């Protein structure tokens, strides 16, 4: 605290002595979202740590962004749950004050470092309507989970809190999915999902919920409903691809595309993995996902998970260049559940089909996916603690 306060003072003194206008670390404040969830993004020239201010109350959120220097106050109109915002100089940092349109709470807040062509640090505050509000479709279980997630921001992670992972084996029952020379997608997705469930549960860190555990048909809406009801921290859908050419092989990862949706800003836009599926896919039904079910706040968490997944899975299976993927294809998301879809390989490729149907090679893949899930949650905990 003291160190940060001194650093701020020194910076001010230097600026004053040179008579140059003192630069502000806060470049701009942007808002996105609606009445059920609103995202506030503060673009910064420096890394900060957030700390909730004492003057927060039911209709106001006050945060001190420690380490940021502001030369002048900034303010602007709100959006969604936020009526207005302002940034003021405060001891040790910049104070962000959000006046709310009624009661709302911080769902999460985190710092994103510069990346992917975005030069600024971004401090992100996701504000949600209180549980039970009309727009909230969360289950009682999800509500129980929420305060834990919020507390993690200011306290070391609650180690005992098991993350809830929903695994969705694609297809099933009368929907076989893609067909290989001698096997069906629905069977390899189920076998892999069951192995992944066992691997995750073995760690003691996860509670796994499956959208199906046998060869049954489960509609897409039902899969989403299961994820929402479970209060999932992560949703992973497993699939296997098919291609017109048996030579095409390799894994790929999809997360939600923002196509057709209003851009919030480059926070999500440039970070987004555009991982989209060929039009001819048998998985086209997945493309009929209700985009309005999704929240932008979930989007870059999904992208972070997709990135981690691809890094882990990618070192054992060649990944398709994303240029081959240019049609709309959306992973089904519940509003607050980061999600990704893994195409584990091409069942129409003899090598991939053999791998997907071999228990030992599946186990290797499962190990990589489990590592990716570990990595995703570990990174999230680090970010939340900044
Ligand atoms: Zn599929």
Q: What is the pLDDT along the chain (386 residues), one digit of tens a residue?
A: 333 332 333 333 333 334 445 678 898 888 877 788 787 888 888 878 788 877 788 889 998 888 888 888 899 999 889 999 999 988 888 999 999 998 888 877 776 666 545 677 778 887 888 776 643 433 333 333 333 333 333 334 444 479 999 999 988 999 898 999 999 999 999 999 999 999 999 999 999 999 999 999 988 778 877 887 888 889 898 988 888 888 888 887 776 544 423 222 222 222 222 222 222 233 333 333 223 334 455 666 777 787 778 777 765 445 554 422 322 334 444 456 777 888 888 899 999 999 999 999 999 999 999 999 999 998 876 554 44
How many A from CA of 104 to the centre of ligand 1? 39
Q: Please give the helix or strand (H or E) that residue 231 lies within, else none.
A: none
* H or E, element range at 70: none
76 Ramachandran zone, left/alpha/beta (phi>0; psi -120 to 50): beta
- Tell me how far the alpha carbon of residue 359 lies from the centroid of ligand 1, in angstroms: 19
Q: Which helix (H) or strand (E) holds 154?
A: helix 140-154
CA of 275 to the centre of ligand 1 (A): 15
How far apart, in whole angstroms, are the C-alpha atoms of residue 94 and residue 96? 6
Q: Per-residue b/e over 15-28, b at no fewer than 16 CB within 10 Å?
A: eeeeeeeeebbbbe
Give pLDDT, residue 83. Answer: 94
Check residue 48 and give its pLDDT: 81
Ligand 1 center–CA 276 separation, angstroms: 13
Output DSSP code: residue 110.
Answer: E
354 CA distance to ligand 1 middle (Å): 17
| Ligand 1 geometric centre to CA of 163 (Å) | 25
Residues 242, 189: contact at Cβ < 8 Å? no
- Distance from the alpha carbon of residue 137 to the mean position of ligand 1, in angstroms: 27
Tokens 């962004």 found at: 65
For CA atoms 320, 357, 168, 125, the dihedral sign is negative
What token pair was written down for 204?
A: 């003691």
Order of all β-strands in the sheet with 60-66: 49-52, 60-66, 93-100, 82-90, 74-79
pLDDT at 362 (0 to 100)? 94
């Amino acid at each position: 605290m003291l160190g940060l306060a001194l650093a701020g003072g020194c910076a001010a003194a230097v600026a004053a002595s040179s008579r140059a206008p003192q630069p502000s670390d806060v470049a701009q404040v942007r808002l996105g979202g609606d009445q059920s969830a609103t995202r506030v993004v503060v673009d910064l020239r420096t890394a900060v740590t957030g700390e909730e201010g004492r003057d927060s109350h039911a209709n106001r959120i006050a945060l001190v962004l420690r380490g940021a220097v502001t030369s002048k106050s900034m303010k602007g109109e709100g959006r969604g749950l936020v009526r207005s915002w302002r940034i003021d100089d405060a001891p040790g940092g910049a104070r962000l004050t959000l006046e709310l349109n009624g009661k709302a709470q911080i769902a999460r807040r985190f710092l994103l470092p510069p990346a992917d062509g975005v030069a600024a640090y971004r401090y992100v505050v996701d504000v949600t309507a209180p549980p039970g509000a009309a727009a909230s479709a969360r289950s009682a279980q999800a509500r129980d989970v929420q305060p834990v997630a919020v507390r993690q921001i200011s306290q070391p992670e609650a180690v005992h809190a098991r993350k809830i992972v929903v695994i969705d084996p694609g297809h099933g029952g009368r929907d076989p999915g893609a067909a290989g020379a001698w096997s069906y997608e629905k069977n390899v997705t189920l076998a892999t999902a069951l192995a992944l469930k066992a691997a995750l549960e073995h760690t003691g860190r996860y509670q796994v919920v499956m959208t199906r555990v046998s060869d049954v048909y489960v509609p897409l809406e039902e899969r989403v409903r299961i994820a929402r009801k479970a209060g999932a921290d992560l949703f992973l859908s497993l699939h296997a691809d098919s291609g017109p050419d048996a030579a095409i092989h390799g894994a790929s990862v999809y997360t939600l595309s923002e196509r057709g949706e209003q851009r919030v800003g480059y926070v999500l836009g440039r970070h987004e993995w555009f991982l989209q599926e060929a039009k001819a896919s048998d998985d086209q039904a997945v493309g009929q996902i209700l985009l309005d079910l999704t929240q932008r706040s979930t989007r870059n968490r999904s992208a972070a998970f997709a990135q981690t997944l691809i890094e882990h899975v990618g070192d054992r299976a060649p990944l398709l260049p994303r240029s081959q993927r240019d049609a709309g294809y959306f992973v089904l998301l519940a509003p607050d559940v980061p999600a990704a879809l893994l195409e584990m390989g091409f069942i129409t490729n003899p090598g991939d089909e053999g791998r997907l149907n071999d228990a030992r090679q599946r186990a290797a893949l499962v190990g990589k996916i489990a590592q990716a899930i570990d990595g995703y949650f570990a990174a999230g905990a680090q970010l939340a603690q900044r």
